[in-house]
Amino acid sequence: MALFGKSKKPGDTTSQLPQILPEHVGIIMDGNGRWAKKRGLPRKAGHREGAKTFRTITRYCSDIGIRYLTVYAFSTENWKRPEDEVGSLMRLFKSYLEEALSDFKDDDIVVRFIGDKSGFSPELQALMTENEESSADRDGMVLNIAMNYGSRDEMLRAVRGICAEVQQGNLSPEQIDEKVFSAHLYTAGQPDPDLIIRPSGEYRISNFMLWQAAYTEFVIMNKLWPDFTTDDMDEALQIYSQRNRRYGGV
């Protein structure tokens, strides 16, 4: 099984895409469990289908020129789910991380994991590090996979890091500004997301990139993540292209 499924051929959607694409897209991959329930299947079946969609959409975003893609794969709150579901997710993560090392080698995509890696098994942590190191020299799209990620936790970590620098005398309180704070987040050095897409029809942000999304455009789509297609991605990009982004101005 390849890490990424086949995307549309380059000429298939060029005329449908807006001339100006968002530089950074975030996706809250939601609806795997409900997709499975509707079909009388165990939740892990939904997660497997959602992983296939992740592969297809990620490669498609790379093909059409998105520079940064951040996908919400596993939140700090997801540990509260039933033990068998969490165990199934961990096995799924392990399988895809192992496959990525060979399947991903010909893709010009930089893989990064954002979140608290220490919550995962040493084996998973090692696979994450290996995937990051093996793709570090590429110059294509940056793929941020948010695992054991929560934006509140991210911001608390940033505050603690800044406090430590102040205590060490490397930073004064007067120097702390938005730029300094952003530099202590997992997404340091990356632009804030221009667009966040949430499939499944839920109208909430779910602790995802709270700081970074201050002026992000949101598109809510009434389709469960396993059913999300490249055509849906095109539709979200078209909706984004019609927004007037004023950033608090007139």
Whole-angstrom Cα distance, residue 250 to residue 240? 18
184, 16 in Cβ contact below 8 A?
no
113 has which bridge partners? 145
pLDDT at 103: 63
CATH class of the 21-150+194-240 domain in this structure: alpha beta
Residue whose token pair is 């970074």: 212
User: pLDDT per residue over 180-191, tens digit each?
Assistant: 999 999 999 999
- Catalytic-labelled residue, pool 12, 32, 63, 78: 78
The pTM of the full predicted model, rounded to 2 decimals, is: 0.90
Q: Say if residue 3's pLDDT is above 80.
A: no
User: pLDDT per residue over 38-91, tens digit each?
Assistant: 999 999 899 999 999 998 999 999 999 999 999 999 999 999 999 999 998 899
**Of the candidates 250, 246, 249, 220, the residue with the CA atom closest to the CA atom of residue 235:** 220
| Crossing angle (nearest 10°) for helices 83-103 and 122-135 | 30
Q: Say if residue 16's pLDDT is above 80.
A: no
The more confident residue out of 250 and 216 is 216
pLDDT at 161: 98
* Token representation of residue 78: 């997801």
- Catalytic-labelled residue, pool 30, 63, 194, 232: 30
| Crossing angle (nearest 10°) for helices 43-64 and 230-241 | 60
30 is annotated as an active-site residue: yes
Q: Mean pLDDT lowest for which of 54-58, 96-100, 163-167?
A: 96-100
- pLDDT, averaged across the chain: 90
Q: Mean pLDDT lowest for which of 3-17, 117-131, 152-166, 188-202?
A: 3-17
78 is annotated as an active-site residue: yes
| Crossing angle (nearest 10°) for helices 83-103 and 43-64 | 30
* Token representation of residue 211: 């700081």
The more confident residue out of 5 and 165 is 165
31, 220 in Cβ contact below 8 A?
no
